[in-house]
Structure 1
């Protein structure tokens, strides 16, 4: 009788042992703060864990079996994190309400990706892959949107999958570094960066808010509550924003910027 996936995951003692050892090592290393001018770059155990885990993937220690079994563990971990955030949000509900439109308008930040990253991608010679790469942050709902509209094997599909993989590998590390640095370097409130860390990805939100909590432990509950509420809004409304605003703008801007290039290409064929 074939083992169920759940039982295979539970019996993969090697995976659990490796994860446990990584946790022990990273917690032993602890937190480091590197001063850069008036600000600081915070290096947290989660960052070390990502680097060690990625390095081990390219060694004989981790086989394909462990990498496949590790995928659902991320969902379990994020689920526990969301449950914790839900408990914290309750007492902080007044602070969240006081933020008003700031939380609801955060999705407009995706337009920055389109208007900044898309032109750069086109200048670098990318084609319609750029639409899939820059129309959003490129998480699971956005993959579904692109695949539904263009197909998995399309240029747009390759673009969104590239960003999904890149975000999975480097997104949490980047957000953890940049949020702590900007919060200590700029005069802006750390609560604004807490809201900004809720981009629609549990791991990225955890890394960003974790760095902020390390820098401002006295505001820990507010930071976690705002980051969690922001992430929930991004997850709930981010897809609709991409459907009705992000993707149409990305397509229109791409067509506008490549019109002359396509004309030249057609003349060359003639």
Structure 2
């Protein structure tokens, strides 16, 4: 709270982003919705180059330490939407639970592409999940963050932090405009275990379907909460074993031999 420069920068960026407002870009039969959060993210990135001398290391470090706090406040706000819509959420609980298996899609899609692009065991760390904080901790505990797997998960974590919110916000609005998927389904899909990504996805949907705002935010927040609760166990019991198995198969397919044995943090 002592970094006055940081708070002034944030205030200026928020005011500029809100002044621009929501922009709708027609694409085919639908519309891509650009939200103020997207502008704020881009403007924030533009303040970081050293030659501009706007945001220095201190501002960036302090901003990083405040992300968790602000997301907690955001999730508390979303939590107030869950109670009034609880009967409908309970009715949709099978879909909410089964959708968690969709997290395995990162393995089935990411591992083959990563190996074919030339990555080795970095593929396991980077593709076993969407690489949020619990997944970084899991890989760090099992392999160490200085390992190949650790490099992979940290690389995806950084990319997800910088571009993930922008990507999922655009993806949600694009799918809502150009596919028959129901907005509730897309709201649930936005809850990937990242508060900022969920907010971007749900925010885009709310801008397109304002009459569904309460249900969209409730489904998104509930899905995100479930992803945070069982996502770690999904990674530990299913995603990582599947990643190891698939990595060996794709590696052998490309190189004609099995890969090197994994080295855990304990060295066995």
Same fold (TM over 0.5): yes
Q: Residues 14 and 265 of structure 1: is their aligned pair in 2 closer, same or farther, counting only changes over 3 Å? A: closer
Q: Is 2:107–2:127's contact at 8 Å kept on the other side of the alignment? A: yes
Tell me what 1:160 maps to.
153
Q: 25-34 or 177-186: which moved more?
A: 177-186
How big is the shift at 1:259?
A: 2.5
Instruction: Determine which structure has the larger helix proportion and give its number.
Output: 1
Q: Is 2:139–2:149's contact at 8 Å kept on the other side of the alignment? A: yes
1:49 matched to 2:51: no
Once residues 151 and 248 of structure 1 are traced to their aligned partners in structure 2, the CA distance between those partners, rounded to angstroms, is: 17
Q: Is 2:252–2:259's contact at 8 Å kept on the other side of the alignment? A: no
Q: 21-30 or 56-65: which moved more?
A: 56-65
How big is the shift at 1:73?
A: 2.0
How big is the shift at 1:265?
A: 9.2
Structure 1, gaps ≥5 residues long: 1-9
**Root-mean-square deviation (Å):** 1.4
Q: Is 1:39–1:186's contact at 8 Å kept on the other side of the alignment? A: no
1:15 matched to 2:9: no
Once residues 262 and 188 of structure 1 are traced to their aligned partners in structure 2, the CA distance between those partners, rounded to angstroms, is: 41
SS in 2 for 1:263: coil
Tell me what 1:109 maps to.
102
Tell me what 1:188 maps to.
181
Structure 2, gaps ≥5 residues long: 261-268
Aligned residues: 257
TM-score, with normalisation over the residues of structure 2?
0.93
User: Which structure 1 residue ranges, 4+ long, deviate > 2 Å from structure 2?
Assistant: 262-266
Tell me what 1:4 maps to.
none
Tell me what 1:35 maps to.
26
Deviations 1:80-139 (A, max 9, x none): 111111111000001111113110011111221111121011111111100111000100
